[in-house]
């Protein structure tokens, strides 16, 4: 066999090997975006009570930047809002304010830690009435999803459960995330949609939040609550 023939055979072999490796790697991803949510309104309702402390609150902000960076944010895609609560709720930014991941990251960096108590029920009511209002940019005919992140028991478990049930009546899917050993698992279950065990996530510390980010997004993708009627 001539040297030219050997070179041709070797070249064809290397092309086949390269094709095999390319196929095994699967399709390329764009910035690790989770595309199961193509259009949705998502509000992160975050606990800013005194038990968290500034250091852990910074870790919470890092988590928010990471999880929102996995979302396909855009004017006609996913919209994100953030509400912080302690004794009272506060809109950090509404759903219609930021339409790029870069804008979201900057806005999250600029959130100031509140400190105070844990009035979760009032915060959920405020979220239902204000964050998911037309004024704040909530849209009709898209999934409405709330992710509640807390490190402790609220000032009134009954008020929290009632507020979460009312949010569901307002067509908002509810996901509960508890951090640390001070959470009340029964209260988290009352916040989360049924089956509450699969819509509730717990981690031991704020350092571990990033480990459940993808799971939270995948659960959000299963949210079926849609406000179908136009706002009046």
Tell me the pLDDT tens digit for each residue of 122-177. 999 999 999 999 999 999 999 999 999 999 999 999 999 999 999 999 999 999 99
Q: How far from 42 is each of 17, 35, 188, 206, 220, CA to CA, in Å?
A: 44, 14, 19, 21, 9
Please report, for the domain that includes residue 215, its CATH number: 3.40.50.410
Write out the residue range of the structural domain in which residue 54 sits: 40-220
Question: How many independent structural domains does the chain possess?
Answer: 1
Position 20 in a domain:
no
Mean pLDDT score of the chain, rounded to an integer?
A: 87
**Quick count: other Cβ atoms within 10 Å of Cβ 186?**
11
Asked whether the predicted pLDDT for residue 229 surpasses 70, the reply is no
Position 84 in a domain:
yes
Among the ranges given (10-24, 50-64, 169-183), the one the predictor scored with the smallest mean pLDDT: 10-24
The reported pTM is: 0.84
Tell me the pLDDT tens digit for each residue of 78-101. 999 999 999 999 999 999 999 999
Contact 164, 124 (CB under 8 A): yes
Region 174-195 average pLDDT: 97
Position 208 in a domain:
yes
């Amino acid at each position: 066999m001539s040297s030219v023939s050997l070179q041709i055979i070797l070249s064809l072999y290397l092309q086949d090997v390269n094709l095999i490796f390319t196929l095994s790697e699967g399709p390329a991803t764009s910035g690790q975006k989770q595309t199961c949510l193509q259009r949705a309104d998502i509000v992160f309702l975050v606990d800013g009570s005194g038990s968290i402390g500034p250091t852990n609150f910074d870790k919470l902000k890092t988590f928010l930047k990471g999880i929102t960076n996995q979302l396909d944010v855009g004017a006609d895609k996913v919209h994100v809002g953030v509400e912080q609560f302690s004794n009272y709720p506060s809109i950090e930014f509404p759903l219609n304010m930021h339409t790029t991941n870069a804008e979201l990251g900057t806005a999250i960096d600029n959130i100031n830690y509140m400190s105070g108590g844990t009035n979760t029920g009032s915060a959920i009511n405020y979220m239902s009435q204000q964050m998911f209002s037309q004024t704040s940019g909530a849209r009709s005919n898209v999934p409405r999803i709330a992710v509640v992140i807390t490190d402790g028991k609220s000032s009134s478990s009954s008020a929290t459960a009632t507020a979460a049930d009312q949010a569901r009546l307002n067509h908002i899917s509810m996901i509960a995330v508890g951090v640390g050993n001070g959470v009340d698992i029964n209260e988290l279950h009352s916040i989360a949609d049924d089956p509450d065990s699969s819509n509730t996530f717990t981690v031991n510390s704020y350092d571990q939040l990033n480990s459940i980010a993808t799971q939270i997004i995948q659960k959000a993708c299963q949210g079926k609550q849609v406000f179908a009627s136009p706002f009046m």
